[in-house]
Amino acid sequence: MPIDRSADRNVHIYNDNNRTTALGGLILNPGVTNANFYAMIRIFVEFERRTFSLRNQSGIEIQKDHQPLQPGNYYIVTSGKFLYHSFTIK
């Protein structure tokens, strides 16, 4: 049986329209920035419209900058649909 790595994650990713089902997440390592996180999302999610933003659990939009990413829940906000996502890492 595969090892369940999700228990150690301290960053969790959700669709803003479904805040109860995690799409995935990661174990945050030093050096990961907000801009890196946006780039990671672009690898795993294809959107109907190319634009999206990330909000933290307080509803504050995360800027695409070089500030360190903080542990917590993040919500993908887009005006279109998710066409595909490959969050299958356990």
pTM over the 0.85 mark:
no
pLDDT at residue 88 in the model: 46
The verdict on residue 67 lying in a domain is: yes
Domain that holds residue 19: 6-85
pLDDT at residue 90 in the model: 38
Distance (Å, rounded) from C-alpha 18 to C-alpha 78? 12
Residue 61: pLDDT band (50, 70, 90) is very high
- Answer yes or no: are the C-beta atoms of 14 and 73 closer than 8 Å: yes
Task: Give the residue, 25 or 46, on which the prediction is more confident.
Answer: 25
Nearest to 87 by CA among 2, 27, 23, 18: 23
Query: Does 72 score more than 50 pLDDT?
Result: yes
Burial class (CB in 10 A: 0-12, 13-18, 19+), 10: exposed
Q: How many domains does the chain have?
A: 1
The verdict on residue 1 lying in a domain is: no
CA distance from start to end of the chain: 12
The verdict on residue 28 lying in a domain is: yes
